[in-house]
Chains A and B, each alone.
Chain A
Amino acid sequence: MPYPESLVAPMRAEMVKMGAVELRTVAEVDAALGSASGTALVFVNSVCGCAAGNARPALALALQHRVKPHQVVTVFAGQDLDATARARSYFGEYQPSSPSVALLRDGEVVHFVHRHQIEGKNPHAVAADLIAAFDRMSEVRSEK
């Protein structure tokens, strides 16, 4: 059952403030991810304080890196159910997890950070993993 909107609004705002585009409908998800070209980061947001409370600041840190995905979008698990399910349909065999981060290149998942990889870690450690993935993504693109 979704939490009251008043409670999750600050968590949505935190994502928008760092530059993520919030996707709240299936149509918005398809418009953002359906073209399957370029690079995209999908952050699956969550109310969970013990994991998402680290994941959001981690992403904010990672997005300060000089290399980052062309698109940064977010869906909210447990809140925007249809949009989240649709976003997960783009993740291939990666199972639902929230919070989580999927990095896609030309429609394929090239890096995935599950909830268990965020739990107990500080934001800097999670950000370092994301930044390394951004750099690898950049190297692959420059080789093409």
Chain B
Amino acid sequence: MSGHVFHPGHSELHGITVVVETAGALWVGRFHEVTPKGILLHDAGRHEDGAGESREEFLRKVKKFGIRQTHQNALIPEAEVVRISKLGELD
């Protein structure tokens, strides 16, 4: 049973927990797909620059305690995206 994937044909990142960096915010969530309106994340948390803790501190907490969900679905315009990384691969 193990190893069966129910969603063939999707992006390589489909189902992977990613960090999406934009100019003013950081998103962490489960990558679903790229739509014409942007990148769709599920169960996502958002960190806004200047909101108190740094991006590094926000990510440190996410890696230890998980994602404090702020958006069940988040659509991030591709033009705003600076970088996408897999959370599990960040140091």
Name A residues whose Cβ lies closer than 8 Å to a Cβ of B: 10-11, 13-14, 47-54, 56-57, 93-97, 100, 112, 114-121
B28 to chain A, nearest CB (A): 9
A63 to chain B, nearest CB (A): 14
Interface string of B10-35 (1 = CB under 8 A from A): 00001111000000000000100000
Q: Are B1 and A54 in contact (CB under 8 A)?
A: no
**Tier of interface size on chain B:** 20 to 34
Given A47, A118, A121, which contacts B6 in the complex, CB threshold below 8 Å? A47
Name B residues whose Cβ lies closer than 8 Å to a Cβ of A: 1-7, 14-17, 30, 43, 63, 65-69, 86-89
Q: Are A114 and B66 in contact (CB under 8 A)?
A: yes
Q: Are B2 and A54 in contact (CB under 8 A)?
A: yes
Q: Are B16 and A120 in contact (CB under 8 A)?
A: yes
B11 to chain A, nearest CB (A): 12
Complex contacts, A50 vs chain B, CB 8 Å:
5, 14-16
